[in-house]
Structure 1
Amino acid sequence: MEHFETERLILKPADQEDAAFFLQLYNMPKFIRFIGDRNLRTIEDVAHYIQNRFRPQFDKLGFGNYVVMLRENQEKIGAVGIFEREGLDVMDIGFSFLEAYQGKGYAYESASYLKSIIKQKYGVQRISAITSKDNYASQTLIVKLGLTFRKFLTLPNETEELRYYESD
């Protein structure tokens, strides 16, 4: 699977070797608050999640969830992906970064690059994004990525009403 590079970052397809990183990322208080509790408490839980949630989309579409690393030292700092999501008709872009790396432009750099690659290489013309109503930092980034708020929605088997954005 293909890696991508920006000026400061490497985007590599998420795989089993990233289980410890995702365990840390997905259990951050802000991740649980704004994105949701995935109930991943062990390396084995995360390895299973990667195998059953991330890998099938790579196999089917050729793209999915990427670990974002600093080019200078290959430190894992976050994740960005474009996903098929139940309840959405348009591919969904998502991102999450360790707190020490938030507010430094890494999310925009990686998400905007991935958005352009997916459009050029895979022909995905429209993307969407969802976020909780009080996740203002993500809302700002989503708008900066060129998406526009369209409506409120609730995903299947969920109760929280989310903000839905879509590219033009």
Structure 2
Amino acid sequence: MVKKYILQTERLILKPADINDSEFFLKLYNEPLFIKFIGDRNLKTIADAENYITEKFLPQFEKLGFGNYVIIRKSDGEKIGAVGVFVRDGFEIPDIGFSFLEIYHNKGFGFEAANLLKNYVSEKFNLKKLSAITTTDNISSQKLIEKLGLKYLKMVEFPGDEVLLRYYEN
């Protein structure tokens, strides 16, 4: 079993996502902006969220030691978002992604969490090269990706998907 580390900043805790986060992911993945910019993951029940975590998040953690982290605000223990580094079919370079409950947008949490995780995987797993993908109309994510030091390279499609996405690398 791979050891999973909890990461921290002054304001945030990043803990590896697990089955106990099902209710949170059900809420997060059904936020209107999540569905608009990232897509509908078709999570309608706690059981759907549990299956998603079990099938999508946990295997990557077990195989590679990194994956999706729940972002928790230290001041009140509130789960506010998620950030992860993902290995995806059709892409050579792992990508960093993030999402937040809408009430926590534009508070600096995104950069704080994503930068911490980017630095962690770079040092711990020697992942010097990361990518990021986002929709053409998700300006906030584009700005955050660029602030993380990634540069826009080209438009890409996920295998089996017809939506063109902006592709970045550092």
Aligned residues: 167
Q: Secondary structure at the residue paired with 2:33? A: helix
Residue by residue over 1:113-164, the C-alpha shift from the partner in whole angstroms, topping out at 9 and shown as x without a partner, is 0000000011001000000010000000000000000000111011100000
Aligned AA for 1:96? S
Q: Secondary structure at the residue paired with 1:129? A: strand
What aligned pairs does 1:85-164 form with structure 2 within 5 A after superposition?
A: 85-164=88-167
Moved over 4 A (4+): none
Aligned match for 1:16, one of 14, 19, 22: 19
TM-score, normalising length from structure 1?
0.98
Q: Secondary structure at the residue paired with 1:100? A: helix
Tell me how far 1:87 sits from its aligned partner: 1.5
Aligned AA for 2:119? S
Which residue number in structure 2 is paired with residue 65 of structure 1?
68
Aligned AA for 1:124? L
* 2-structure distance, mates of 1:148, 1:12: 27
Which residue number in structure 1 is paired with residue 56 of structure 2?
53
Q: What root-mean-square deviation, in Å, do the aligned CA atoms of Structure 1 and Structure 2 show? A: 0.5
* 1-structure distance, mates of 2:55, 2:135: 25
* 2-structure distance, mates of 1:87, 1:140: 24
TM-score, normalising length from structure 2?
0.97
* 2-structure distance, mates of 1:76, 1:100: 12
Between the aligned residues of both structures, percent identity stands at 54
Return 5+ residue gaps in structure 1 as ranges: none
